[in-house]
Homo-oligomer: A and B are copies of this chain.
Amino acid sequence: MRLSREAVLRAAVALADEQGVARLSMRTLAEELGVVPMALYKHVSSKEDLLDGMVDVIVAEIDPPLGERAWRTTVRSRILSARTVLQRHRWARQVLETRTTRTPAVLAYTDSFIGMFLDRGFSVDLTHHVMHALGSRMWGFTQELFDAPEPGSVQSGPAQPGSAQLEEMARRFPNILRIATASAHGEGVVGRGCDDQFEFEFALDLLLDGVEGLHARGWTSARP
């Protein structure tokens, strides 16, 4: 069975999906494909290239923008589509963050994303700033703060109620504790009981509300 760039990329995505990106090395991937490591280099010029290709694969999974709807629904639903894709491929966020060169597929997505604004009457100026304000949110993720111990990390789990660890925590970081306990509805403790999807949409809508206001009143940056 012959290899191909497509086959290599698909296998890499699958392996990262299952084992996490940390377990993805040229050697493990080669073994997965029943081939010697160096064989991959006939289809991929380097590991960076491999990762770029993997990003391309998942970018292709993001839905294209829908018909003639208003900018806000179009943008919103596309971002949420990106988010479901990134949810399927949990390694993607991390890989995306480390990409230094943008592949054509990524540029194409970005271009089309910008188009959703420009084609619906946004000024180039406002669109530019909005893109910066959205930042990585256009990919459907945000820099999370408290959360997500990598699968496989030793994270002594949520603190047990009444434990010394928790008391120490309460003394030194009372504010964090208040947030944490509140968001866990009073039951589980420090562990993340909050709804990621809700948080994401909350932040997204906050931003979109702001953008809507600026657009409505014809905002433009004061800079020449």
Give the interface of A toward B (CB within 8 A).
97, 100-102, 104, 107-108, 110-112, 114-115, 118, 124-125, 127-129, 131-133, 135-136, 138, 142-146, 149-150, 153, 155, 172-176, 178-179, 182-183, 185, 194-195, 198-200, 202-203, 206-207, 209-211, 213-214, 221, 223-224
Do B100 and A132 touch across chains, with their CB atoms under 8 A apart? no
Residues in B with CB closer than 8 Å to A132 are 142, 144-145, 194, 199-200, 202-203
A–B Cβ pairs within 8 angstroms, 15 of them: A100-B149, A107-B172, A107-B173, A108-B173, A111-B176, A114-B178, A115-B175, A124-B178, A128-B183, A132-B142, A133-B202, A195-B223, A202-B221, A207-B207, A210-B210
Q: Identify A202's interface contact among B129, B172, B195, CB under 8 A.
A: B129
Q: Closest CB-CB distance, A103 to chain B, in whole Å? A: 12
- With A97-B97, A135-B143, A149-B100 as known contacts, state yes or no: A176 contacts B128, CB within 8 Å: no
Q: Identify A176's interface contact among B110, B146, B185, B209, CB under 8 A.
A: B110
In whole angstroms, how far apart are the Cα atoms of A153 and B99 in the complex?
11
In the complex, the chain B residue whose C-beta lies closest to that of A133 is B203
In the complex, the chain B residue whose C-beta lies closest to that of A114 is B175
- With A97-B97, A101-B155 as known contacts, state yes or no: A199 contacts B145, CB within 8 Å: no
Do A210 and B202 touch across chains, with their CB atoms under 8 A apart? no
Do B223 and A114 touch across chains, with their CB atoms under 8 A apart? no
In the complex, the chain B residue whose C-beta lies closest to that of A179 is B128
In whole angstroms, how far apart are the Cα atoms of A53 and B97 in the complex?
22
Q: Closest CB-CB distance, A202 to chain B, in whole Å? A: 5
Complex A-B, nearest 6 residue pairs according to Cβ-Cβ distance, in ascending order: A136-B143, A133-B203, A114-B175, A132-B199, A206-B210, A111-B173
